[in-house]
Structure 1
Amino acid sequence: MKLTRRTILAAAGAAVLVAQPMMAFAQELPGNVRLVIGSKSTGGDTYQNSAIVAEALGEHLGINIKVDAVGATEAFKALKRDKRGSTLMIFHDQSYLGNLYGRRGYDDPFANYTFGPTVAINPGNAYLVPADSPYQSMEDILDAAKAGTRVRVAIQPGGVSEIGFSAMKNAARVRAPGSEENLVAVNTGSQSDKNQAMWDDLADVINGSIQANEQFTQLPADDAKAMRFVWVTARAETLQQAPAKGMGNTTLDQLLKYASPATSVTLDGEKDFTFDKEFFFLYNPDMDPAIAKQIDTALTEVFSKGEIQERQKGAFFIPNFLPSDEALSHLGAKRDTYRNVIAEISGN
């Protein structure tokens, strides 16, 4: 065949058409991404944290990322259906704690999904007592259990709310074997349910958070709704990264008095138990690794600018970006520690 300019251009065009599908094989995030979260609340910490990350990541990549508060069960289902990268998930430690506690709807995320980067910590997980409680500290609560007094603790079973209760029982067991039986769970639902259990005198201690319950610690002591913090589970190193003004009218220095080492809930007689509530991405296991790499790269660049950290701290979150590989190792180690705690108090 005689080669002319027309045949050369036609051949080149055909080569481009053939090459295009191969180039598209290395996928990237689509222009519209659904970010499902393991909460149904649009006013809670999971939504608030996810919205900050979604906005920063979307702006950086020039795409639209919409946060969809569908709850854990529906979020996992949606993620399982979509391997294209158009559905991503952000959740926290509940994703694996729910599995460790045997909660329905919680598959082992380490076996069934791919972990993406961590993005933040909520250092606010806490335990509180009524303002007029005879218990002034966790030491008093554990001593009461040792003396045979039944102490009722309101929690939402199967995850972040329960892990601190498990740690209390474990600490009681370490200090005085058998006394852990005197720490009794009052299983409730949302934070408002736990608060109400305290106000109805159905619980002596409740799980709460700095963000949700600090307002009640500022009430006059004779107010029926007044509370006091007795324990903040976060590591001191985590809390120390929060603004010095703390939250509401409670300063950071005051909050540190409720965290380890000032407040000790022992893990094994030597080290204290601590728990940082961390938020991270989860992906469909069959999603193209190129998309995961794109997110890691983009978030590395976003966090290097420093603006997202200011937004997170303004909402009392602690910035905590770890790329996917580091996040997987870190979260796996956390899972193993808490699995051991749960096993110790269950006798498994």
Structure 2
Amino acid sequence: MDRRSFIKKAGLVTGGAAVTAAPLAAPAIAQEMPEIRWRLTSSFPKSLDTIYGAAEVMAESVKAMTGGKFTIQVFPAGEIVPGLQALDAVQSETVECNHTCSYYYVGKDPTFAIGTAIPFGLNVRQQNSWLYEAGGQDLMDAFYANYGVRGFACGNTGVQMGGWWRSEINSLADIKGKKMRIAGLAGKVMEKIGVVPQQIAGGDIYPSLEKGTIDSAEWVGPYDDEKLGFYQVAKFYYYPGFWEAGPTLHFMVNNKKYDELPEAYKTALRVACSHSNDVTMAKYDAKNRLAIRSLVGKGVQLRPFPRDVLDAAYAATQELYAELSSTNENWKKIYEPWKQYREESFQWFRVAEYTLDSYGYAMQAAGK
């Protein structure tokens, strides 16, 4: 069929004159697929528009791709269940899905941490590569199946900051006995070097820091941390957050509910999560560059962790991983291939990425 004939039959425009067209038919998926309504409980407060918003981006994308037939209503932490009970809510079918970090659930099994981030681990590109192309997704889903769920990458913050401290840290001795809000396996590493870890949901960090119940708290990075007001109650802001080089946020769904979905809806979910994964990282990169300048302008003191702190933490990390590999088969099954991937990925990134980045940053710092 030639173009002219097609245009006439489509009832669009011919001979320069508009012809009344029949209403465009809705996509086949919208006509033929069932209407499904899910609820999602987030581990994050609505005030954190970027990290909480990652679930909204995902839900809006699913709705658009299914012609409004499949909708997911997002609820902030505390409306249905507390933020750290998001996994339990999906397991019990209180909700169909959640938006959380897998490492919040290391109390159930330390293996949960690998899905989000473990100390001295992968950056965001390496983490995505491991999940999407190097078998990480299959390994994690086989583990998550023990809890009746599966998880999809749905946002990343990039390398995080080392947290807010009420007093300056000049050496390893200065962190001994300090109470720090810190999640995942990072808490176990910090405990090995003298810190007293505290597991506290995001919305409860500020009052704990303000009252002196804790001496330090890590959350995400400049943009979110400024919104939560930590600079008002702690002056020293340390970096890097060596425990979270590329922390993945997760969309977790009940396996039974997922299996009931039409294949087209399953595809929409996976695509929507991948889209949110990209968008969330881009938002943080855009917002953090401005927020860090704003915080310094408010008197925040940026400080790198002393080298002896990093060295002690690195040694403690390797000790912890060895302990887990010898006592936890779930951990070992995922950690061993993860470790091999990390070694090979680091070798490659040192060749081009690190060399170019280091040179460019040095030139920028020198004002050239």
TM-score (norm 1): 0.49
- Structure with bigger helix share is 2
Higher strand residue share: 1
Question: Which one scores higher on RCO, CA 8 angstroms, separation ≥ 6?
Answer: 1
